[in-house]
Amino acid sequence: MNAMTSPPATPPMAAVRTLVLAAVCAALLAACGAEHEELQQWMEQQRREVKPNITPLAPPKKFNPQPYGNAQAVDPFSAQKLSVALKHEARQPNSLLAAELNRRREPLEAFPLDAMSMVGSYNKQGRAHALLKVDNLLYQVKVGDYLGQNYGLIKRIGETEITLREIVQDAAGEWIERPASLQLQEKAR
C-alpha cells in the first residue's frame, strides 16, 4: 500500500446515530401532523355548526331638548340666594346672626381660621394684643375684633392662645355659638 491511497472511509458511528434519530423525529412529526390536521377539520366543522345568537341593539331614543323655563328666576347656586336666606334668618327673633349681619365686616373675616397662625402676643397699655400671620402679612388683633369666616369674635388673648366664639349652623339649621381657638405657632428649628 502506498501512503497516497487509503482504505475507503466508513462513516463514524455518531453520524449514523444522528441520521437514525433524525428519521425517527421526522416520523413522529409526520404522525403529529396527521393528528393536527384532524383537529383542524373538527374545529372547522364546529364553526360551521354553531351559529352565534346576537340580539341586535335597540336604536337610540330621540332626544328632544326642552327649554329651561326658570331662566328669569334666581339661580339656586348664586350668592344672591344665600344673602336673601341670611337676611331672612336675621329677621327672626332671638337670632344670633342678626347683630352679625348688621355690622361692618373686618378684613380678617375674609380668611378661614386654618389660614391664620398666631405668631406672638404682647400687652399694650394694659390690653392684650396678638400678632397673626395671614398670607405672609402680620396683623394686630385685640379682644373684641372679628376674624375667620364664621363670625369669630375674639373673647380672650393669652400668651399662647386666642380664644374666640363662632356662630355656625347646626345639623337642624339653627344658628349656634361654638368655641374656637388659635394656638401660638412655634418656630421650626
CATH of the domain at 126: 2.30.30.830
173 is a domain residue = yes
Domain total for the chain? 2
In the DSSP assignment, the letter for residue 138 is E
How many angstroms separate the CA atoms of 128 and 126, rounded?
7
Angle in degrees, CA 84, 88, 94, rounded to 5: 150
The amino acid sitting at 119 is: V
Rounded Cα–Cα distance for residues 185 and 114 (Å): 12
Q: What is the residue range of 37's domain?
A: 16-47
User: What DSSP designation does 103 have?
Assistant: S
Domain annotation covers residue 109: yes
pTM: 0.51
**Residue-wise pLDDT tens for the chain (189 aa)?**
455 555 555 557 777 778 777 777 777 666 666 667 888 888 888 888 887 788 889 999 999 988 888 777 767 777 777 777 777 766 665 567 777 877 889 999 999 999 999 999 999 898 999 999 999 899 999 999 999 999 999 999 999 999 999 988 888 777 888 999 999 887 654
Cell of 83: 344673602
Distance CA 9, CA 26 (A): 27
Q: Decide if 160 is inside a domain.
A: yes
Contact between 175 and 168 under an 8 Å Cβ cutoff? The reply is: yes
* 132 is a domain residue: yes
Residue 76 lies in a domain: no
Measure the CA–CA gap between 142 and 164, rounded to whole angstroms. Answer: 11
Q: Are 139 and 131 in contact (CB under 8 A)?
A: yes
- Residue 165 maps to a domain: yes
Report pLDDT for 156.
95
